[in-house]
Structure 1
Amino acid sequence: MEKLRRVLSGQDDEEQGLTAQVLDASSLSFNTRLKWFVICFVAGIVFSILGIGLLWLPNGIKLYAVFYTLGNLLALASTCFLMGPVKQLKKMFETTRLLATVIMLLCFVFTLCAVLWWKKKGLALLFCILQFLSMTWYSLSYIPYARDMVLKCCSSLFS
């Protein structure tokens, strides 16, 4: 009702603060969304660390790949609590991060395929490394000029 009143009175969403825009995006309260973001993000980190710990067990590559991938998916999904799933998907597939998103999602799928169906442990480990690199590149896309800085640093190291 408040949103309808703002629109009818001529107030734009741009006049709203960031917190008000976030609160309008979901029926959950800001505190609830923040709590679930933290829970989901921490669970993702725990799954990834648990996967690294399981790496040293017999048949550990399989457990590592599954837990590491699930951890990354949980960490990625945690941001849906902050901005909502639709807005998150729109941001993921913007032109600036489209390639990074596609490569990251393919690495998730190929990691699980390599370890669960293809039974190729070396390939699963390679896809986990690619998963880490693609997730890092994707995350850097949210920081202005971060990817340009990384490219300049790498090019100065190699020249």
Structure 2
Amino acid sequence: MPFGFFSETFSDQGTMDDGTWQFCGLTRMQRLYAFGACFVIGFILSIVSSLLLIGMNVPGFAILYSIGNVVSIFSLTFIIGIFKQVKTMFAPVRFWATTIYLSLLVVTLVLSILIKNFVLSLVLVIIQFAALVWYSASYIPYGREVIRRFFGSCVTSI
């Protein structure tokens, strides 16, 4: 007997918004494919940007890295819808994580293009990645607690 997502009676409990993408005529399966495609494109852009960073092309790196992150975040709108995505991003539990992450995304882009400093760009990307991990962990039950405990145990073992 099928269960979960493959069941005829699957209830997505409000996670998959059927109304937002209906104007495009997308079915559930098409939205899942669109999510996967956007996520993979964002991932590929991030990898390619890393190759540009190795080649010391800081502005190219910043632009591709930022676009890759935006495309990856946008991919979730195919699953939960645009309005629910914005609403969940700025929910009280993740307001500061979202604000810091998006701010760092813009700061990384602007400073990498204007200043073109390799070390500064690398530091900003590392901090931006940490903010992305913290933001993403807010969607996982006890995700932030696991991160706190892991780094807490690392600090105490030193």
TM-score, length-scaled by structure 1: 0.82
Classify the secondary structure of the residue corresponding to 2:18.
helix
Classify the secondary structure of the residue corresponding to 2:91.
coil
CA-atom RMSD, angstroms? 2.1
Normalized per residue, the structure richer in helix is 1
> Of 58, 75, 84, which residue of structure 1 is paired with 2:72?
75
Aligned to 2:3: none
**Counterparts of 2:48 and 2:134 in 1: how far apart (Å)?**
23
Q: Percent identity of the aligned residues?
A: 34
**Counterparts of 1:109 and 1:65 in 2: how far apart (Å)?**
10
> Of 17, 20, 32, which residue of structure 2 is paired with 1:22?
17
Aligned to 1:129: 126
Question: Post-superposition, which runs of at least 4 consecutive aligned residues in structure 1 deviate over 4 A?
Answer: none
* Distance change in 2, residues 1:128/1:51 (3 Å): same
Counterpart residue identity of residue 69, structure 1: S
Cα contact 1:41–1:75 (8 A) shared by 2 = yes
**Counterparts of 1:121 and 1:69 in 2: how far apart (Å)?**
16
**Counterparts of 1:113 and 1:94 in 2: how far apart (Å)?**
27
Aligned to 1:32: 30
After TM superposition, list the pairs within 5 Å mapping 1:5-20 onto structure 2. 17-18=11-12
After TM superposition, list the pairs within 5 Å mapping 1:52-71 onto structure 2. 52-57=50-55, 59-71=56-68
Counterpart residue identity of residue 37, structure 1: F
Asked if 1:113 corresponds to 2:110, the answer is: yes
| Range with bigger deviation, 113-122 or 146-155 | 113-122
* 1:97-153 Cα deviation digits (max 9, x unpaired): 111100100111001111112333332222111111111111111100011111012
Counterpart residue identity of residue 36, structure 1: A
TM-score, length-scaled by structure 2: 0.83
Q: Which has the higher contact order (CA 8 A, sep 6+)?
A: 2
Classify the secondary structure of the residue corresponding to 2:100.
helix
Counterpart residue identity of residue 142, structure 2: Y
Aligned to 2:138: 141
Instruction: Specify every segment of 5 or more residues in structure 2 that has no aligned partner in the other structure, as ranges.
Output: 1-9
Q: Which has the larger radius of gyration?
A: 1
**Counterparts of 1:80 and 1:140 in 2: how far apart (Å)?**
18
Cα contact 1:22–1:30 (8 A) shared by 2 = no
